Amino acid sequence: MRDRFASSELLTWYDAHARDLPWRVPPDARRAGIVPDPYRVWLSEIMLQQTTVAAVKPYFLAFTERWPQVTELAAADEADVMAAWAGLGYYSRARNLVSCARAVAADGGRFPETEEGLRDLPGIGPYTAAAIAAIAHDQPATVVDGNVERVMARLHRIETPLPAAKSEIKAAAAAMTPADRPGDYAQAVMDLGATICTPKSPICSLCPWAPRCAGHLAGVAATLPRKAPKVPKPIRHGIAYVVHRSDGAWLLETRPPRGLLGGMLGWPTTQWCSEPESAPPVAAEWHDPGAEVRHTFTHFHLRLVVRVALVDDHFVPDRGQFVSAAEFRRGDLPTVMRKVYDLAAPAANELSSSSRRG
C-alpha cells in the first residue's frame, strides 16, 4: 500500500526547498501547468550518471545553448559532441547520446512517455527510463538513484549491505511512490538525499521524515546503507606518445569507437595492461619528461609513462593526424589525455626551443 501521508509530507517540504537546477521546472511552475521538456530531462539524467550536479551544470548549459532541441543534437557531428563532452567522463554516454538523439529525431522528435518505450532507446537503462517517465511525463515510475537508495535504507532501516539490498530498497521505494505528483516526488527524494540525508552526518533535525525514520529513531541512520567490502582496483600501465611538430602541431588520433574513451581524440598509446609493449607511432628520438600520469577509471587505476618527440614540418605519420597549433584545443581532450598534455607540453616546448637554438 502506498504511504500517501509520507509522500505528502515530503512534497510539502519540496515545495519550500526544491533545488534551483537549470533542467528543472520548479514545483510552483509545474502546478501552474508548465510541462518539463523531455529533452532537457533526458540530457540532464544522462550527464548526471556517475557525475555530480556541480560538474554537470556548465556542460548542460553549454549543450542546451549549442543544441537547444533534440533534433539539433541529432544533426550534430559526432566528433563535435564528443569534444563538447570532453572532461565529463564515462564517454560511452556521449556516443549513446548521439545515437539516442538520432533515434528520437527519426521518430518525429518526441520521446516515448512510458518506461518500456524509453528503454528501447540507446543508452537508456532502467533508472534513466524511470526518471524521464516520472519527471518529464509525470508517470508513477519508481526512481532509485544513489540518493534514493540512501534515503530508503535509512527510512526503513534496511541493514542488508549493498548491492544485495537493491531489490529490497527498490520495493520500499515503489511502495512509497505516489500516484499524485510522482515527478515532483521523485525529485523531492533525490533532493532530500542530496541536501539533508547526506552520506556523512545527515541533518536529521531538518528532515521532514525524521519522526518516521526507523534508522534515525534507532540511532543508526548515519551507518546506512551498509556496503559490502570493496574489492581493490587493479592497476594497469601504458605509454603515451606525444609528437610535437616543429611548426607547433600535435599528433592526435581518434580512439576506436568501442572501449574506454571510444571515439575521443587522444595521444597515441600502447594497450593498457599489466606489461605494455613499447609501440611508438613514429620512428623518432623519444624523450622522457621524468614523471607519470595517474588516472582512475571505474574499474581500474591507470599509470601512463609519457614519451615526447619532436619532428620536422614535413613529417608524415603512419597513424593519427597532426592538429595545428591554431586548431588544437586542450579542452577537446578527455581528462586523462589532458593530464598527458600538461606533463608533456613543457618538455615538447623545450625540445622546440633547443632545436631553434641549435
Are the C-beta atoms of 41 and 132 separated by less than 8 Å? yes
Residue 12, phi then psi, degrees to nearest 5:
-65, -40
> Cell digits for 349?
616546448
Are the C-beta atoms of 98 and 76 separated by less than 8 Å? yes
Q: Which residue intervals of the chain are DSSP H helices?
A: 4-17, 27-31, 38-48, 53-66, 70-74, 78-85, 92-106, 115-119, 126-137, 146-155, 166-176, 182-195, 214-217, 335-357
Q: Which residues contact 78 (CB under 8 A, 6 or more apart)?
A: 95, 98, 263
Residue type, 209: W
Residue 225 preceded by cis peptide, ω within 30: yes
Task: Please give the Cα distance from 140 to 2 (Å, whole number).
Answer: 11
Q: Which residues contact 328 (CB under 8 A, 6 or more apart)?
A: 249, 250, 252
Q: How far is CA 198 from CA 148, 170, 306, in A?
A: 11, 19, 40
Nearest to 112 by CA among 38, 49, 30: 38
The three-state secondary structure class of 234 is: coil
- Alpha-carbon dihedral sign for residues 160, 163, 167, 173: positive
Task: Please give the Cα distance from 80 to 122 (Å, whole number).
Answer: 19
> Cell digits for 150?
540512501
45 noted as active-site residue: yes
Selected catalytic residue, list 45, 115, 149, 292: 45
Task: Please give the Cα distance from 342 to 28 (Å, whole number).
Answer: 47
Task: Please give the Cα distance from 97 to 265 (Å, whole number).
Answer: 17
Which residues are catalytic, by number? 45
